[in-house]
A and B are shown apart, each in its own frame.
Chain A
């Protein structure tokens, strides 16, 4: 389990990195935390001819918040998890990130890498979908803004980034004051990729739900659950509404199967976890972010 031969460069600026990506095109792979890419290299399941190691690019690593949150793509997951700026405005991110692997993985793994890898069982893509995030992608030719949906939506282990593009920033809008969140996942072991999971953000108007965003993972791809969301709008928060939403969520979830669980089981789990995430979300609205 040793990687195949590759050549290596370690640019120190975004510009330099973009130049290298332009030069090597589809032959190149960006190396961020390496927590997904290096296992693939060791198994020789990925064999890029060239590695562009972006770990030396200090300008890619930052957390800044003024209600909405901006995360540099190279920000380590541990930094996100421990950030007061993140937990005060977006505690759902803190919680979700704590589910990613283990401490040693998060010490290296980056938020951008996690998103760019787009593992359908990963927390990050579904979370960022539910949070209506957007990202900046840059290439030697310029810069573009994509919604999380445009980046990862309906995709399995790939994104809409071009070979020459670098993900540089993730932006997450502020949550409404009357919103609450829930995050529920089931995994085989603590720290494993999820069997299934749901990130929920709801906005309340008195006892009624005025809007809901649900991001589901553990299926064929990270997905929003629009049918379930629609069913919640205007509904009174409570068991009946959650169960109805759960049923729709299960039905629309792009399920999949692997050694750990069948399509049917995962579909069922999404229903259960949707209900639990909604119960959690509606119980912590208005800033009680437990």
Chain B
């Protein structure tokens, strides 16, 4: 790359502008935000899974020197709670309160908050609060929660069923399948019952907040790591009962979010309220134990599927029931992830006949909400395990059964019976490429030879789709999702011809600042050094109701392109006047405004035009002075990223331990802005997918309702030696649904990982007849299966 460059910024691995501070330890994370005079808040959390709170005595805590105040549920008169933004028809309301009102429903639920001079003293004060708990029967298993005599967690609901939602198998064209016919025609009906483990994003940086209420100005400045600061502002204003115009949210560097920081949380209210009541800045940094107990969990589902297949391998029909273990309350997105599971479960296959019931079930556990993948990995687990089971039953190679049922490259747009429209792709090619990369045929031979020597090698395949780029907003409305799917971008050209771009996106490690600068530089045809990106200040950036998710920069990128198109058109109009040419004859190119055919002679730089635009001396009729534009882009439709993964593992049957041999990814995320960063995103998402496949799990004790995984000694994050080297290959099919052809790319890596591992391990143990239907596949769990099979 040359020192200055005006074109070709899309598709290059531009160095990240985020890095300069971070590698020096000069990033500014939430814990590094320390306004003078800040007080520290700590939260008292329920030690019980289910307990009535008959009284809270805070007197000893309040009289401890250094304590400035204690907040209990009684102090929340007039203060609201955050709503669930996804409110499906029939969904019973049980959203998360700011402080447990009269009853705690999970271990870790906030009961009171203390504000003190330091975190040390605040924790001393927590020890002094006496809560009169009356312990109630609890339920932590989703099936037990459905039992007739199960303790009812939210009394007003009558039982623990939050919602029962049906996917009737009508595709986006309104065409209904014939499920009964499919099952009647089937030669075999394959059944599967899958337990997908509870785990989550567990960002290395926990959550945190710094609230600073200015009593004279009546304004609240909130430093927050929310991935969707504007929506937080809107909902916080409503909860606190103050005008939204009084709230400014500033976003520091974020130490990982992975969806978990998309949600609104009780602490957002508590910390803000504490600052308002005390008139001092108040800081809260979640500690790791709190984080494991009280930052949302994800994934956990119990799925039951039936797949109708013909003996030639054709997949005729799929029906299923998904029990989503929601935890005690609905959090910001309700049962959204489980809804996505139902919508995506037919995956890449032409399964025309489909039916799925999705049940959201309350349990005495931490709320299950937003986590990278958002229901997609769960869907992929189900279908990819089912397809493997079918292959085994029918004696067809698992690669072949996939290939023969895949939607063809010429069948797009494809209207799936899950209700989604798939935009584009070449599924069989991705599969073929993955098989070629692992040398599939050779691997199978090698596997047989190794088996003779007592080495159990397994090969697992998993194909996936990732429906992303949620929009248009009208569709979200039809789905009862109460926020928009658009992204806005403001681009301002200064009088020196440099660009400042304002985005509602929030960089959380994906390099958004760099990729958006690349898009702007590419389309303005100027050097990237001349583009500045402003983010993380609700006073400056365009409203977004969707905010940053792993797969949103594609939508934001289009907003940037569209705003730049307007700027270029205006520059051409102004430039034409200055060049005394007809605007029709003037074009924008290479960062200049020139008369077509006379680029050498009659041409102005962007700076020259911008200067004129701000002088305002010669503005064409109908235009205003200045050179800036805002574009709010509402996607025309969803985009579907897709691909195939193949894992090769060795299994030690004596211990249940899995060793990696190889992991290959073939991925199509449409047009790629920055290949190095895309690779990084795939690696990271894959690491989280594999973490949940083999290590990570929130384990609850059935007897006590306690969360047993409440330290990082027990909740195991993958480290260096737990993951394989990844081999990544790309296809690039530009999406026809978005300008620029971008598809979401930040999450896809985690989609098939669980299924791929389960398929590989099942394959390694095929002679024992073991089916790996539960994640994570821990050594203990796997040995249990092996032992039961007499292996």
Contact = CB atoms under 8 A, between A and B. Distances in A.
Q: Do chains A and B touch in the complex (CB under 8 A)?
A: yes
Interface of A: 1-5, 43-44, 186, 188-193, 195, 258-262, 264-265, 268-269, 272
Contact of A1 (B289, B655, B713): B289
B721 A186 contact: no
Contact of B784 (A44, A189, A265, A272): A265
B288 to A, nearest CB: 7
Given A188-B695, A272-B654, A265 B783 contact: yes
A190 B123 contact: no
A259 B784 contact: no
Given A189-B718, A192-B713, A258-B708, 13 more contacts: A1-B289, A188-B779, A189-B716, A195-B779, A195-B780, A259-B699, A259-B709, A259-B714, A260-B714, A262-B784, A264-B787, A265-B783, A268-B787
Contacts of B580: none
A264 B699 CA distance: 19
Most buried by B among A3, A4, A260, A264: A260
Nearest to A273: B655
A265 B780 contact: yes
Nearest to A269: B655
Contacts of B780: 195, 260-262, 265
A196 to B, nearest CB: 9
B266 to A, nearest CB: 19
A43 B708 CA distance: 15
Most buried by A among B123, B289, B709, B780: B780
Contacts of B716: 188-189, 192
A260 B124 contact: no
Nearest to B654: A272
Contacts of B602: none
Contacts of A264: 787
B119 A2 contact: yes
| Interface residues on chain B, size class | 20 to 34
Given A1-B288, A265-B784, A268-B783, A188 B721 contact: no
A280 to B, nearest CB: 15
B702 interface: no
A4 B719 CA distance: 31
Contact of A4 (B124, B713, B721): B124
B129 to A, nearest CB: 14
A3 B716 CA distance: 24
A115 B482 CA distance: 58
B779 A186 contact: yes
B785 to A, nearest CB: 11
B779 A261 contact: yes
Contacts of B709: 259
Interface string B565-590: 00000000000000000000000000
B172 to A, nearest CB: 44
A219 B656 CA distance: 18
A192 B287 CA distance: 22
Given A2-B123, A265-B783, A43 B289 contact: yes
Interface string B442-481: 0000000000000000000000000000000000000000
B711 interface: yes
Contacts of B783: 265, 268
Given A259-B708, A259-B709, A265-B784, A188 B778 contact: yes
B400 interface: no
Interface in B256-307: 287-289
Contact of A272 (B127, B655, B713, B722): B655
A258 B657 CA distance: 17
A193 B714 CA distance: 10
B721 A2 contact: no
B778 to A, nearest CB: 7
Contacts of A5: 124
Nearest to A102: B719
A4 B126 CA distance: 11
15 contacts: A1-B123, A1-B288, A43-B711, A188-B778, A189-B695, A189-B718, A190-B721, A190-B722, A191-B719, A192-B713, A193-B713, A259-B697, A259-B699, A259-B714, A260-B778
B124 A189 contact: no
B615 interface: no
B120 interface: yes
What 10 A-B pairs have minimum CB-CB distances, sorted nearest first? A261-B780, A1-B287, A190-B721, A2-B120, A265-B780, A272-B654, A259-B699, A259-B708, A2-B123, A259-B714
A274 to B, nearest CB: 12
Most buried by B among A43, A189, A264: A189
A84 B127 CA distance: 49
A259 B287 CA distance: 22
A259 B781 CA distance: 11
Interface string B698-741: 01000000001101011010111110000000000000000000
B623 to A, nearest CB: 59
Contacts of A258: 708, 714
Given A2-B120, A262-B784, A189 B721 contact: yes
A54 B127 CA distance: 29
A129 B160 CA distance: 53
A47 to B, nearest CB: 9
Interface string B119-159: 11001100100000000000000000000000000000000
A188 B656 CA distance: 11
Nearest to B120: A2
A190 B719 CA distance: 8
Nearest to B118: A2
A203 B535 CA distance: 69
Nearest to B717: A189
Most buried by B among A43, A186, A265: A265
A264 B779 CA distance: 13
B719 A189 contact: yes
Contacts of A259: 697, 699, 708-709, 714
B123 A44 contact: yes
Contacts of A260: 714, 778, 780
Contacts of A191: 719
A1 B123 CA distance: 8
B559 to A, nearest CB: 41
A43 B123 CA distance: 11
A162 B720 CA distance: 41
A176 to B, nearest CB: 30
A67 B289 CA distance: 47
A265 B781 CA distance: 9
B31 to A, nearest CB: 13
A262 B656 CA distance: 13
Most buried by A among B656, B699, B722: B656
Nearest to B719: A189
Interface in B647-704: 654-657, 695, 697, 699
A286 B719 CA distance: 37
A187 to B, nearest CB: 10
A193 B711 CA distance: 14
A4 B127 contact: yes
Nearest to B782: A265
A189 B719 CA distance: 8
Contacts of B655: 186, 269, 272
Nearest to A271: B654
Interface string B747-791: 000000000000000000000000000000011100110010000
A29 to B, nearest CB: 18
A222 to B, nearest CB: 18
B484 to A, nearest CB: 39
Nearest to B720: A190
A259 B127 CA distance: 27
Nearest to B655: A186
B636 to A, nearest CB: 45
Nearest to A262: B780
Nearest to B784: A265
A147 to B, nearest CB: 30
A268 B720 CA distance: 28
Contacts of A1: 123, 287-289
